[in-house]
Amino acid sequence: MLLNQAKLNVDLVVKNISANSKNKLRLQELGLIDGTKILIKHKSILKNTMLIIFNNSCFVINTNIAKEIEVNYV
């Protein structure tokens, strides 16, 4: 299940990142590696942008990145 389809405020776990190599590496280097717990805190009005929490920090990502993060519900 892709991140941008997941529900708000529900614990998720990263299954795979299929983003292009540059985005993928940066996400991983920020701590978003397979098995990391992740939570969507907020989605913008058009749901193009979201606030996600991982590695005890909060990040803004848009749907172009979010759609390439595969997650499972915990």
Partner 1 sequence: MYKILLIGNPNVGKSTAFNSLTKSDEHTGNFHGVTVEQKTKKIHFQNTDYEVVDLPGIYSLNTYSFEEEITKNEILKNKTNNSINLVIIDANSLRKNLYLCQQLNELNINYKILINNYDYFKKNKNKLNLEKLKNALNIDVFLINAKKLKLNENLIKNQQKNTKNYNYLNNIINKIQQKINKSKIEIIKALNGDFSNLNNEEIEYIKSFNSLVVQARYKYIDDLLLHCVEMDKNFVYGLSKFDKIFLNPVIMFLGFLLIFFASIYLIFFTVGAWISDKLTLLCNSLFVTPILNLIINLTDNVWLIEFFSQGVFSSFFVILSFLPQVVLMFVFITILEDSGIISRMAYVFDDFLSKFGLNGKAVYIMLLGLGCNTMSTMVTRNMNDKNLKTKTAILNPYISCMARLPVFVIIASTFFSKIAYFIIVGLYILGFLVALILGLILNKTVLKSKQVGLLLEFPPMRGIDFKHILQVTKTNALDMLKRLTGVIVSVSIIVWLLTHTDFSFKYTQNISESVLYFISSKISFLFTPIGLNNAGIVCALLVGIMAKELIVSTLTICNNATSTNELINSLTISSSVICLTKASAVSLLIFSLLYFPCASNIAVLRQETDKFTTVFALITQFTIAYIISFVAYQLVSKGVIFAIISTAIISIIMFAIIFVTKKIKQGKCLTCGKCK
**Binders of partner 1: how many residues, by CB under 8 A?**
33
User: Considering the complex, what minimum distance in angstroms separates the CB of residue 48 from partner 1?
Assistant: 5
Residue ranges in 1-60 that form contacts with partner 1 under rule CB under 8 A: 19, 21-31, 33-34, 41-42, 44-46, 48-49, 51, 53, 55-60
By the 8 A CB rule, do 71 and 38 touch?
yes
Nearest to 65 by CA among 32, 33, 18: 18
State the Cα–Cα distance between residues 19 and 70, nearest whole angstrom: 10
By the 8 A CB rule, do 35 and 42 touch?
no
Q: Which residues bind partner 1 (CB under 8 A)?
A: 19, 21-31, 33-34, 41-42, 44-46, 48-49, 51, 53, 55-62, 64-65
